[in-house]
Amino acid sequence: MMKRRIFLILTGVIISTSLLTAQPKYQYLQQISTPTDTRTCELRGSARMVKTEGREGLNLTSIHSAFEMKQHTLNENEGAVSMWVMSLEDLAPYPLQEGMSMGSPYFRNYPFLTDSPDPMNVDAGNFKILFWNNFHPAIRVQFDKGNFYEEAFNYPHQALISVSHFTFPAHRWYQFTLTWNHAEERYALYVNGILIGRENQFGHDLKRRSVTGNSVFVGGPMLCFSDYRFYDQELTGEMIYKDYREQATNYSPDEEHELLYTYAGKFKKPFSFKTDRTWTPELDLSLQLPAQMDHFYIQGEPVKAEITPEGLLLQTIDAEYTSPLRNKQMYLWTNKMFEGDLYVEYEFKVLRPGGLSLLILQATGMNREDFMADYPRKTSGMMTTVFGENVRNYHWEYYREMSDMSNDRENSVLFKNPYYRPLSFSAREKPIDYDKWHKLQFLQIGNKLVGAIDGVIMVEFEEDGMVNSGPVLTSGHIAIRCMVHTKMLFRNLKVYNRSQFEAVRELQANK
C-alpha cells in the first residue's frame, strides 16, 4: 500500500543535551543471548533469539508462548515505554475467510505489549499495544479492557490511540514509543521517533477506567522483540527521536521520509488538473436552489438535508457512536449514473467538529448494473452499503474525526469496496479548519485515481484489476455520505465524464 521513506528537517533550535536525556526505570531484552532472569522476567514455552540488521531479538515460536516482564511503569501518573519490534513477514491488508480462525480466534492480533497472560488474547487485558490486521490494519493502544471497536465507538474514552493504515514490512526493526500522562489525559505514539498518533481529540471527559496488571507480556510467533524500556516520566518528541537515532542499527532516510509524508503531512504535492473539451459536463449544481434536490436520493435518517441560501446543509445526530444510532447516518446519492473517466469537484464547510464525510464513486451492483434501478432502493444509513453489500465502489474518506483513526490532524483514505482494499492513505499537518470553505477534487483517468483537498493531493493510486479485488471500476452513481456528529454545508457540485467509447447509441426495446 505504501513504501516508507524518511527525511528530517532541522529547525536550528539549540536544545540542551541534558533535557534530551532520560534513564529507563526498567529494561528488558537488551542485546543479550538469553532473556531469562526469573526475578524480573520469565519465559514460558518455546522461543528463540534471532539477529538481523545488527539487532538481536526474542521470537516466541508458539501462540502458547509468552515472555513476562514483572515490573513496569504503566500505572505511574506519567511515563513512557519504548520497544523494538520486527515482523518475520509482510503485514498488510488481506481478504479474510471464515476458516482462518480455526485453532486461534486471535489470528489477526500481533501483540507488542499487554497485561493479558495469554498475549494473543489482548482483549482480556487492561492494557495493550498491538498491530491489528484487517481491511485497514492499525497500530492500537488501549489503557482499558475490552474489544477495540466496543471501546472506540460505543464507549469512546481518552486512553486510546488508533493509527490506521499502518503496513509492516518484513525483516525491518521499528522502534515504537508510547508516552502518557493519565491526569491530563494525554497519550502519544511514535514510530522511529516520528509522532504518528494521539488520544481521541473529541472525547467527552471519559477517564481511564482500568489498572494495568503487575506483569506485562509479549507473544505471538510472527514478531521479534528487543530492548523494552519503561520510564517514569513523559518523554518529549525530541528525546524520543534522539533515543531512536542512538539505538537504530538500520536507519533509513527513505523510511523516515515516508513516515513523515504519511502521518505528519510533510512533502505533499499540488493538484492542478483542469477539464478540456474532451470532458462532458454531466452535473453543475450550485446546491443553493431547492429544486436541485430532485437530482438526489436520500438514504438513511439525517437530522437535516436541505437547501439553504449558503448551500446544501447535511446534518446527522450528534451523539456517541453506539450501535442503535448507526442507522441515523445518511447518503446523498445522485439519481444519475456516470460512465468513463470521472472528475468530481465541490466545496464543503465543516460546521461542527467530530464528524465524518466521505465521497462514494463509481457505485454499481456487482455485475455493473444500476443497483438503484434494478433493486428496491436502500434505506439504512449504516456503513454496510459502502463495504458489506452488493455495491461495488471507491470511497474516499476526506474528512474524518472519529476515534478509530488518529484525529488530531486531517486524514484521507481511499478504499475499494466491497473488497476491503485500502488503496491510499495520508494525513495533513493539522486538522481541518471549521467554518471555512474547502475545495474537494477527485479525478479518475483509466486506472489512475487522485483526490485533493484545497489543491493538495491527499490520496493517489494506480489501480489493477488483476490482483484479486475486482476490476477497475468505471461506471456508477456518486454519493456524499455523512456519519454521526456531522454538520456540513456543500455547494458548487460539478461532475464531468470522458467516454471510453468512440460512440454510444442507446436502444429502446419493444414493449
- Listed residues 201, 232, 264: the one ending a domain: 264
Q: What is the pLDDT of residue 445?
A: 98
Residue pair 53/251 in contact (Cβ under 8 Å)? The answer is no
Say how far apart CA 160 and CA 199 lie, in whole Å.
6
In this structure, of 74-88, 196-210, 310-324, the range with the lowest mean pLDDT score is 196-210
Q: Is the pLDDT of residue 31 over 70?
A: no
* Type of residue at 18: S
257 and 289 in a common domain: no
- Listed residues 237, 264, 291: the one ending a domain: 264
255 and 402 in a common domain: no
- Unique residue bearing C-alpha cell 519503561: 230
313 and 184 in a common domain: no
Work out how many domains the chain is built from and give that number. Answer: 2
Over the stretch 388-446, which tens digit does the pLDDT of each residue have? 999 999 999 999 987 777 788 889 999 999 998 999 999 988 899 999 999 999 999 99
Q: What is the mean pLDDT of the chain?
A: 89
Q: Is the pLDDT of residue 447 over 50?
A: yes
Residue pair 101/205 in contact (Cβ under 8 Å)? The answer is no
316 and 256 in a common domain: no
197 and 154 in a common domain: yes
Say how far apart CA 83 and CA 229 lie, in whole Å.
7
- 98 vs 385 pLDDT, higher one: 385
226 and 346 in a common domain: no
Over the stretch 372-381, which tens digit does the pLDDT of each residue have? 999 999 999 9
Burial label for 72, CB within 10 Å (0-12, 13-18, 19+), is buried
Over the stretch 40-63, which tens digit does the pLDDT of each residue have? 999 999 999 999 999 999 999 999
Going by their DSSP bridges, the two strands 47-52 and 55-60 should be labelled as antiparallel
Q: Is the pLDDT of residue 188 over 90?
A: yes
Contacts of 457 (CB under 8 A, 6+ apart): 268, 269, 270, 271, 450, 451
Q: What is the pLDDT of residue 108?
A: 86
- How much is the average pLDDT of 320-334? 83
Q: Is the pLDDT of residue 6 over 50?
A: no
Nearest one of 220, 237, 192, 236 to 113, comparing CA atoms: 220
**17 in a domain, yes or no?**
no
375 and 256 in a common domain: no
DSSP class of residue 154 equals: I
Q: What is the pLDDT of residue 203?
A: 66
In this structure, of 34-38, 236-240, 258-262, 394-398, the range with the lowest mean pLDDT score is 34-38
Q: What is the pLDDT of residue 212?
A: 94
- Unique residue bearing C-alpha cell 522502534: 175
Q: Is the pLDDT of residue 243 over 80?
A: yes
311 and 199 in a common domain: no
123 and 256 in a common domain: yes
**509 in a domain, yes or no?**
no
pLDDT category of residue 113 using cuts at 50, 70 and 90: very high
- 479 vs 387 pLDDT, higher one: 479
**228 in a domain, yes or no?**
yes
Q: What is the pLDDT of residue 96?
A: 78
Backbone angles phi, psi at 126, to 5 degrees: -85, -5
Q: Is the pLDDT of residue 323 over 70?
A: no
**50 in a domain, yes or no?**
yes
Backbone angles phi, psi at 256, to 5 degrees: -65, -40
- How much is the average pLDDT of 357-365? 98
Joined grid coordinates for residue 122? 489482548
Tell me, what CATH number does 466's domain have? 2.60.120.200
**16 in a domain, yes or no?**
no
Over the stretch 472-497, which tens digit does the pLDDT of each residue have? 999 999 999 999 899 999 999 999 99
195 and 259 in a common domain: yes
Q: What is the pLDDT of residue 35?
A: 54
Beta strands in 204-355 (DSSP E): 216-218, 223-231, 280-285, 296-300, 304-308, 311-315, 330-334, 338-339, 341-350
Q: Is the pLDDT of residue 15 over 60?
A: no
- How much is the average pLDDT of 160-164? 84
Q: Is the pLDDT of residue 248 over 80?
A: yes
Say how far apart CA 404 and CA 503 lie, in whole Å.
46
- How much is the average pLDDT of 170-182? 96
Q: What is the pLDDT of residue 374?
A: 97
Q: What is the pLDDT of residue 215?
A: 97
- How much is the average pLDDT of 459-479? 96
- Listed residues 208, 240, 264: the one ending a domain: 264
**506 in a domain, yes or no?**
no
Instruction: Supply the range of the domain harboring residue 60.
Output: 24-90+107-264
Residue pair 469/419 in contact (Cβ under 8 Å)? The answer is yes
Joined grid coordinates for residue 147? 474489544
Say how far apart CA 18 and CA 92 lie, in whole Å.
40
472 and 327 in a common domain: yes
Which strand (E) or helix (H) includes residue 264? helix 253-264
**250 in a domain, yes or no?**
yes
Q: What is the pLDDT of residue 146?
A: 74
Q: What is the pLDDT of residue 510?
A: 74
Q: What is the pLDDT of residue 19?
A: 53
- Unique residue bearing C-alpha cell 465502489: 393
Most confident of 150-154, 324-328, 419-423, 470-474: 470-474
170 and 50 in a common domain: yes
Q: What is the pLDDT of residue 64?
A: 96
pLDDT category of residue 10 using cuts at 50, 70 and 90: very low
pLDDT category of residue 131 using cuts at 50, 70 and 90: confident
| Predicted TM-score of the model (pTM) | 0.90
**322 in a domain, yes or no?**
yes
Residue pair 445/474 in contact (Cβ under 8 Å)? The answer is no
50-56: long-range contacts, CB 8 A cutoff, minimum separation 24: 50/224, 52/86, 52/171, 52/173, 53/86, 53/171, 53/172, 53/173, 53/249, 53/250, 54/249, 54/250, 55/31, 55/84, 55/86, 55/173, 55/226, 55/227, 55/249, 55/250, 56/31, 56/32, 56/226
pLDDT category of residue 165 using cuts at 50, 70 and 90: confident
